[in-house]
Amino acid sequence: CERLTGRSLHELKPVRTFGKKVLIVGRNSLFHTRKRYPPATPGDIKKAVQLEIEDIFPLKKPYHYSKVFRSAETYTLVDIWAWEFADYKNLRQRFPFTHLIPEEVMFVSGKLEITVFRDKDITTMLAHSKDGFIGVSSCRGAVTSPWFQVFLKSIRRHTGEAVEGINLYKQDIRDAGED
């Protein structure tokens, strides 16, 4: 929260919008994977993810969010985000949220774009379009050409589209000479 608002969590006040209070789970608290399932209804996909969530991620008590990325005649690709729910029990007492949403799901744009940002020494590349999240890759240090090329190939494999924009965000001005 401090990264987004500049204020500590204790200073934040709930915002009421149509009775929903949404907490966005930061990228640094998330695990993500894209998994292939047989063709099924959204309800059946949700049940399948719930049954195997503890086997997918190395968490004691995972809480998760899933979204169908693509459905085809022979398979369904599902994005799954998970985080340790125990971390949010105390938070719920201060901020009684009704929905938890991964930060990556919030990235949406009118065209296929890649957003690159740093948080301390971790650089993240996140691809998003009008349909929302497409893919993400993170590593220590600055973006290298081979890493960027591999990420682009993975995006093209899933979309077949050309990237129309790149958004670059720096952690702070002192990083300017490092990239």
What does pLDDT average to in each consecutive run of 10 residues of the chain (179 residues)?
A: 43 58 84 94 93 93 91 94 80 79 89 89 90 90 90 86 85 46
The pair of three-digit structure tokens given for residue 112, joined into one six-digit string:
């296929």
In single-letter form, the type of residue at position 103 comes to E
Cβ atoms < 10 Å from Cβ of 75: 13
pTM, 2 dp = 0.77
Q: How many angstroms separate the CA atoms of 102 and 85, rounded?
A: 13
Condensed to tens digits (0 to 9), the pLDDT of residues 103-147 reads 999 888 889 999 998 888 889 999 999 889 999 998 888 888 999
